[in-house]
Amino acid sequence: MTGRTGLLRAWAGVHPTRPAGTLLLISGTLSLLGAQATIDSLGFLLFETPVALMLLVPVVAGIAVAIATGGGTGIPLPEHPALLSARLAWLLALTAAGTLAVSTGQLVGPELTWEPAVRNLLLYAALAVITVSLAGPSMAWLPPVALTLAAMLFGYPPSEPGYYWWAAVMEETVTPGQWGVAGGLFLCAALVHLGHPLLGPYLGRHTERNGDKR
C-alpha cells in the first residue's frame, strides 16, 4: 500500500496537480453556490435567453482536467507503451473528479439536472485536453472559452427559441445525439492524449535529422 501511495504521489508530482485541484475546488464551489443562478448579460451585451451558471461551471472544470494531464514532457521517463494505462487511468480519474465538481450543485436542488453539466464537462475537457497535448497547458483555456463566448453571443437564431447545433453547450436538456458527440469527442481527446507521448521521441528525432541536414 505504501509503495502504491508513493507511486501515486510521484505521478501527481510530475503533473500540474495543484493548479488543477484549485480549479476543481472553484468549480465545485461555484456549482454549489450558483446552482440556481443565471446570467443574462455580458457587460453591455444582453442575451436572448438567460444562461444557467451550472452550464458555465464545466468550462473551469474542463480546463482543470486538461491542465492536470500536462507536464511530464520534459522529464526523463521512458516513453513506453506500458505508460498508456497509467495515462488513461489518470485522465479518467480527473474526469470523474470534474464530474463530481460540476454536480455539487445537485445537493441544493437546482433547476437543471446533472446531465447538461456533465455533457458540457466532456466537451470542454475534450477540447482542452487536445489543446494541451498539441500546444501545452498554457493554451488549455482557449477552446472552451472561445466556444462558450461564441455560443452565448451568436449561438441562437434571431427571434427564435433554442440554439444552433454547434451551441449545444447552452441547451438545458441533453439529447442522445449530444451524448454521442460529447462521448466521441472525449474518446478522440483520450486517443490524442495517449498517442502524443509516443510520438514525442519520433518527432524529436525527426527534427534533429532535419537540423543535421541543414
Average pLDDT per 10 consecutive residues for the chain, totaling 214 residues = 56 71 95 90 78 95 93 52 78 96 90 92 97 91 96 86 92 96 97 72 41 45
CA dihedral 159, 160, 161, 162 (to 10 degrees): -110
**pLDDT computed for residue 108 by the predictor:** 87
Contacts of 90 (CB under 8 A, 6+ apart): 11, 15, 68, 69
- Helix axis angle for 114-135 and 142-154, nearest 10°, is 130
Q: What's the pTM?
A: 0.84
**pLDDT computed for residue 103 by the predictor:** 94
Cα dihedral 122, 183, 51, 164 sign: positive
**pLDDT computed for residue 41 by the predictor:** 81
**pLDDT computed for residue 85 by the predictor:** 82
Q: Do the beta carbons of residue 173 and residue 162 sit within 8 Å?
A: no
Cα dihedral 162, 165, 169, 174 sign: positive
* φ, ψ dihedrals at 200, nearest 5°: -55, -55
Contacts of 102 (CB under 8 A, 6+ apart): 27, 28, 31, 54, 57, 58, 61, 114, 117, 118, 120, 121
Q: Which three cell numbers stand for residue 105?
A: 450543485
- CA neighbor of 152 nearest in space, from 171, 130, 177: 171
User: Which 3 state secondary structure label does DSSP give 73?
Assistant: coil
Q: Which three cell numbers stand for residue 80?
A: 513506453
Q: Which three cell numbers stand for residue 129?
A: 485536453
**pLDDT computed for residue 111 by the predictor:** 76
**pLDDT computed for residue 75 by the predictor:** 46
